[in-house]
Amino acid sequence: MPSAIAIDFVLLAAIWGSSFLFMRLAVVEFGALPTAAVRVAIAAAFLLPILLWKRQGAVLVRHWKPVFLVGLLNSGIPFACYAFALLYITTGLSAILNATVPLFGAVVAWLWLRDRPNASRALGLVIGFAGVALLASGKASFKPDASGVASGWAVVACLVATLCYGISASFTKRYLGGLPPLVTATGSQIGATLGLTLPALWLWPAQTPGAGAWLALVVVGVLCTGIAYILYFRLIENAGPARALAVTFLVPVFALVYGVLLLGETITPLMIGSGLVIIVGTSLSTGLVSLQALLPRPRP
């Protein structure tokens, strides 16, 4: 991997890994829906001037309906789900569950686009979802805790988010092929903002959030959403979608480190083991690694 691509790859993983930290800092004061709404609004405000500077505004106007719908599927609903989850589970656990995005993407593509997986990819799906079940069995409980909410629902929220990402990927491939990436990125954030504004205003916190919470949202909106999108699409262009997709595997590493150093979270052997199982399954299910490559070759 060329050095410039490697730098973009690691930088993107580090940025996306930090998004769980900043959302955790914001959601305790804003609440789940307001956190998600402000995040996408800031990202839209950051990306829109770039879109207009690139003179791609007319393209967005022509395709605004499907692009805005993708915004709800790829940003609005997932960001709200993760914000809710981060009220009850750690940032590291949320990031590990986020690594299942390619698994759901492969399942949705199979069912919707008839992209039937071969034996190696099908085995990867089984392994990946087995890792999710293992992780959930040790970390998720549906018995209410002291706050009256069961942590199991937070895990479910993360999986709903990853399912939405998977649906969004197939929808984009089917209906938005050929659109400039900046148009999809900007329009999706605008669509998510429009979809979340009313419920966010309805659930806006009675007590004004502090400066630290606002700063966290500015960072997650500009850095972890706006700039991250630019890096991601540049990585797709320079390295191809397969390598760009692999950034999902590195994100939990950064999220776990940030959680331990800055939030005092703990990493358990179950989290590490389950995360490795999920990554192996995801690698197989997306075709990044074949089953033959994992098996030892016979000696001549």
DSSP 153-213: HHHHHHHHHHHHHHHHHHHHHHHSTTS-HHHHHHHHHHHHHHHHHHHHHHT--SSPPPHHH
Sequential pLDDT tens for the chain (300 residues): 567 777 888 898 899 989 999 999 999 999 999 999 999 999 999 999 999 999 999 999 999 999 999 999 989 999 999 999 999 888 888 888 888 887 787 788 788 877 777 777 778 778 877 877 777 666 566 566 665 666 788 889 999 998 998 888 888 878 887 888 889 889 999 999 999 999 999 999 999 999 999 999 999 999 999 888 788 877 776 766 556 666 777 788 888 888 888 888 888 887 788 778 877 777 776 666 665 555 555 555
Alpha-helical runs (H) found in 73-150: 77-85, 91-98, 101-112, 119-139
Q: State residue 197's pLDDT score.
A: 96
Radius of gyration of the chain measured on its C-alpha atoms? 19
Residue with tokens 């079940």: 133
Q: Counting runs of H as helices and runs of E as strands, what totals does the chain give? A: 16, 0
Please name the amino acid found at residue 202: W
- The whole-angstrom separation of Cα 154 and Cα 149 is 9
Amino acid at 42: I
Sign of CA dihedral 86, 87, 89, 91: positive
The count of other CB atoms within 10 Å of the CB of residue 220 is 28
Under DSSP, is residue 269 helix (H, G, I), strand (E, B) or coil? helix
Cα angle for residues 250, 255, 260 (degrees, 5° grid): 135
Is the Cβ–Cβ distance between 29 and 38 less than 8 Å? no
Kindly state the tokens that stand for 46: 């950051």
Quick check: 13 and 233 in contact, CB under 8 A? no
pLDDT of residue 3: 75
Spell out the domain ranges in the chain.
3-204+211-288
Question: pTM score, two decimals?
Answer: 0.85
pLDDT at 172 (0 to 100): 81
Residue 95 has what pLDDT? 86
